[in-house]
Amino acid sequence: MKILVTGGAGFIGSHLCEKLLEKGNEVICLDNFFTGSQKNIENLMGNKNFKLAEHDVEKPYDFAVDEIYNLACPAAPIWYQKDPVKTVRTSILGAINALDLTKKLGCRVLQASTSEVYGDPRVHPQKESYWGNVNPIGIRSCYDEGKRCAETLFFDYWREYGVDIKVVRIFNTYGPNMAVEDGRVVSNFIIQALRGEDLTIYGDGSQTRSFCYVDDLVEGLIALMGGKDFTGPVNLGNPAEFSMKELAEKVLALIPESGSKIVFKDLPADDPKQRKPDISLAEEKLNWQPAITLEEGLKKTIGYFKTVIK
């Protein structure tokens, strides 16, 4: 098939492009490099089935393809808060443009939504039926509400126009190709440890997250796209739950030469206290569950950052 991946030069998008190429597909990677990187896809540039289109999803685009994965959007707080209006525009206009092309072509489109649609959840773990607890006017709202509105658009196009949609809610994901300065907790801890700096925990370290290695996530995205009679939304993530303090301790144990210690700072506004996916729907509908443990994934990610940290 010929497949379009918006945000294809980003962290998750680059891994998805590589896996789709391995499966024998033609891939068009669309990216404006706001947060994506040429380095993430340089190993794909020599592949005759890979094509790069530099473009902003806020503006319409037109490619003859069989499937569209809509991943384009800044996903780390440091980036989506840098230009919050653009973040909202990317989520909403990007969704509309992907949906309009899908409607025109009669193909299938997958929306990469996020666990952030659940906000600071009052239900734990989070099931897809939970509507969330989101501050609509906070500093994270540009991302949270942008993604929630994108989901609304996807389901309205499905109901009104019969567009073939898939919606996935992605929980914390990590692995190679994460940006050095993106502020995500896994990359932050690894980089700080490799540089011999103190590992910064915001809050008392008791807040929890669940960490999914990127290879597992990509398998889930492809499984959802290939499934029949199931639109989602569906959670994809690793349900193994760890506190921030536990994660920091694991990173230090895997980089014993660092000599770093843990320090604590104030918790940012609207930072969720708990985040853990209920993946029973993914197990039932997609026959999917993550296979890579946190320790195994951290070793691979540390190995990657050792090659990029000078």
Kindly report, residue by residue over 202-235, the tens digit of the pLDDT.
889 899 899 999 999 999 999 999 998 999 999 9
Q: In whole numbers, what is the pLDDT of the chain averaged over residues?
A: 95
What residues act catalytically? 143
In contact, 175 and 215? CB cutoff 8 Å: yes
- What percentage of the chain has pLDDT greater than the value 90? 86
Q: Is residue 83 one of the residues assigned to a domain? A: yes
Bridge partners (DSSP) listed for residue 5: 29, 69
Give a yes or no: residue 259 inside a domain.
no
Cβ neighbourhood burial of 256 (10 Å; 0-12, 13-18, 19+): exposed
Nearest to 167 by CA among 122, 212, 209, 128: 128
Structural domain contains residue 23 = yes
160-208: pLDDT as tens digits: 999 999 999 999 999 999 998 888 899 999 999 999 999 999 889 899 8
The predicted pLDDT at position 273 comes to 80
pLDDT at residue 147 is higher than 80: yes
Task: Give the domain extent around 223.
Answer: 2-174+212-238+276-290
pLDDT tens digits, 23-78: 999 999 999 999 999 999 999 999 999 999 999 999 999 999 999 999 999 888 88
- pLDDT at res. 217: 98
Q: Is the pLDDT of residue 259 over 80?
A: yes
Closest CA to 31 of 139, 145, 167, 177: 177
> Scanning the structure block, which residue is given the tokens 């289109």?
53
DSSP state of 30: E
105 in any annotated domain: yes
Domain-located, residue 220: yes
> Would residue 186 count as lying in a domain?
no
Quickly state the pLDDT bin for 10 (edges 50, 70, 90).
very high
Predicted pLDDT at 270 = 62
**Separation between Cα atoms, residue 104 and residue 160, nearest integer Å:** 14
What percent of the chain is predicted at pLDDT more than 70?
99
Distance CA 184, CA 211 (A): 11
Note whether residue 16 is domain-resident.
yes
Q: How many domains does the chain have?
A: 1
Say which amino acid occupies 147: K
- Please report, for the domain that includes residue 94, its CATH number: 3.40.50.720
- Assess contact for 53 and 11: CB atoms under 8 A: no
Q: Write out the two tokens for 258.
A: 């660092």
Tell me how far CA of residue 246 lies from CA of 186, 249, 288, in angstroms.
12, 5, 26
Residue 310: predicted pLDDT: 67
State how beta strands 108-114 and 2-6 pair. Answer: unpaired
* Per-residue burial over 137-157, b = 16 or more CB atoms within 10 Å of its CB, e = otherwise: eeebbbbbbbbbebbebbbeb
Sign of CA dihedral 195, 196, 200, 206: positive
DSSP run (H or E) holding 152: helix 141-161
Does residue 269 or residue 17 have the better pLDDT?
Answer: 17
**Residue (of 25, 19, 18) closest to 1 by Cα position:** 25
User: Which pLDDT tens digit goes with each residue over 267-284?
Assistant: 777 667 888 999 999 999
